């Protein structure tokens, strides 16, 4: 149950550096779904924009943090091209004591929104935004780190949020977040881990998984380890038969799938066994449908004589 009370704080003065000319100040009003109350107001929402990553806002809900939100409103419409998020409590010795954002959405007053994903690490992570004019925006939390930890006292925390405006140069990150050819905003590819990168062979295998699954490819079963191949092949054949009965089989077989919006995170690796998180979005074009589908799944893989193959994937019962 999300706490629906809104907590107001005094307007904050945000210095916005321009490419040319002097700096000017923008009033930013911050509201949050809840915050952890203590005598010193140590976790108040004002910490989100105090310029100090060692302080943090912490949610006050008894939930894990899913559904919590932060909203930033302005006196006039502004064009925000990026959000710099300092995930979790980045004060000394605090990071593991609080939950961190895993994925969420940026929501605009007109109801439009786009998804984003964060890594479980310290430092600033920049979310690219479409830069359309708006008098407010809301960051909604959809999932958190760590998952499945039943600790009600472990609160969600965010240390700092920076706003990058059109007249302020945001940190560059390749071509992420650029508009598509049809003029629609394309959410950026999830951030890559340059310290513990996922092997290219595994990334190619997992991209192939999404392509073959969406197009009902007959060789889909070959992506799995030999000793589990029959089980996954049976599930997939049942799914294909359902599509035949619905009259959509041929339509799916003609699907065009673009998995370039997916990111990969190495959760665990020891010689011939690996656990990889795949998160982000992949684009599926079927007939007149052109849609980006979001996913956040964990695959267990093993390396054998045929190379890396899929051993398990979370939510496999729901996938077929």
- Give the model's confidence band at 45: pLDDT under 50 very low, under 70 low, under 90 confident, else very high: very high
Pairing of the two strands 124-128 and 69-87 = antiparallel
Does the CA dihedral 202-204-207-212 come out positive or negative? negative
Cα–Cα distance for residue pair 40/19, rounded to 1 Å: 39
Q: Residue 13's pLDDT is what?
A: 37
- The answer on 241 and 159 residing in a single domain is no
Q: Residue 52 to residues 56, 89, 139, 202: CA-CA distances in angstroms? A: 8, 11, 20, 39
Q: Residue 152's pLDDT is what?
A: 59
Residue showing tokens 């002097």: 22
Domain end: 140, 165, 190, which one?
Answer: 165
- Give the model's confidence band at 168: pLDDT under 50 very low, under 70 low, under 90 confident, else very high: very low
- Under DSSP, is residue 113 helix (H, G, I), strand (E, B) or coil? strand
Q: Residue 149's pLDDT is what?
A: 63
Mean pLDDT, residues 261-271: 92
Total domains in the chain come to 2
Summary count for the chain: helices (H), strands (E): 4, 15
Q: For the full predicted model, state whether its pTM sits above 0.75.
A: no
More confident residue, 263 or 189: 263
What domain range is 274 assigned to?
200-319
CA atoms within 13 A of residue 91's CA, in its CB half-sphere? 17
> Domain for residue 314, yes or no?
yes
> Domain for residue 190, yes or no?
no
User: pLDDT digit string (tens) for 107-148?
Assistant: 999 999 999 999 899 999 999 999 999 999 999 999 999 876
Q: Domain holding 213: CATH number? A: 3.10.450.50
pLDDT surpassing 80 at residue 173: no
145 in Cβ contact with 99 (< 8 Å): yes
> Domain for residue 180, yes or no?
no
- Give the model's confidence band at 172: pLDDT under 50 very low, under 70 low, under 90 confident, else very high: low
Lowest mean pLDDT among 61-70, 200-209, 257-266, 277-286: 61-70
- The answer on 151 and 248 residing in a single domain is no
Q: Residue 199's pLDDT is what?
A: 95
> Domain for residue 208, yes or no?
yes
Residue showing tokens 């945001």: 170
- The answer on 205 and 113 residing in a single domain is no
138 in Cβ contact with 70 (< 8 Å): yes
Tokens of 296: 């956040």
In the chain, pLDDT over 70 holds for what percent of residues? 82
More confident residue, 177 or 99: 99
Q: Residue 136's pLDDT is what?
A: 96
pLDDT surpassing 80 at residue 213: yes
Phi, psi of 112 (to 5 degrees): -70, 155
Q: Residue 317 to residues 232, 234, 235, 277, 312: CA-CA distances in angstroms? A: 10, 12, 9, 18, 11
More confident residue, 13 or 207: 207
- The answer on 160 and 27 residing in a single domain is yes
> Domain for residue 43, yes or no?
yes
Domain end: 138, 165, 192, which one?
Answer: 165
């Amino acid at each position: 149950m999300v706490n629906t009370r809104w907590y107001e704080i005094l307007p904050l003065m945000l210095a916005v550096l321009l490419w040319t000319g002097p700096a000017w100040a923008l009033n930013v009003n911050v509201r949050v779904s809840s915050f952890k109350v203590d005598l010193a107001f140590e976790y108040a929402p004002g910490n989100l924009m105090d310029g100090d990553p060692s302080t943090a806002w912490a949610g006050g809900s008894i939930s894990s943090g899913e559904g919590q939100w932060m909203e930033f409103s302005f006196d006039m419409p502004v064009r925000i091209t990026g959000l710099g998020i300092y995930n979790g409590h980045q004060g000394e010795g605090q990071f593991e004591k609080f939950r961190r954002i895993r994925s969420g959405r940026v929501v605009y007053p007109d109801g439009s929104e786009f998804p984003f994903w964060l890594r479980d690490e310290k430092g600033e992570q920049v979310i690219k935004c479409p830069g359309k004019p708006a008098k407010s925006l809301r960051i909604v939390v959809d999932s958190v780190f760590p998952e499945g930890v039943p600790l009600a006292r472990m609160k969600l925390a965010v240390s700092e949020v920076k706003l990058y405006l059109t007249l302020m140069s945001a940190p560059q990150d390749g071509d992420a977040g650029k508009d598509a050819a049809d003029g629609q905003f394309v959410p950026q590819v999830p951030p890559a881990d340059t310290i513990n990168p996922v092997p290219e062979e595994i990334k190619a295998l997992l991209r192939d998984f999404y392509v073959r699954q969406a197009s009902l490819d007959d060789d889909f079963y070959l992506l799995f380890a030999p000793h589990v191949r029959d089980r996954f092949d049976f599930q997939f054949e049942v799914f294909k038969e359902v599509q035949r009965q619905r009259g959509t089989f041929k339509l799916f077989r003609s699907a065009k799938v673009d998995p370039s919006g997916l990111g990969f995170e190495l959760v665990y690796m020891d010689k011939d066994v690996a656990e990889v998180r795949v998160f982000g979005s992949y684009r599926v074009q079927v007939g007149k449908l052109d849609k980006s589908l979001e996913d956040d799944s964990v695959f267990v893989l093993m390396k054998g004589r045929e190379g890396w193959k899929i051993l398990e994937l979370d939510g496999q019962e729901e996938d077929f």
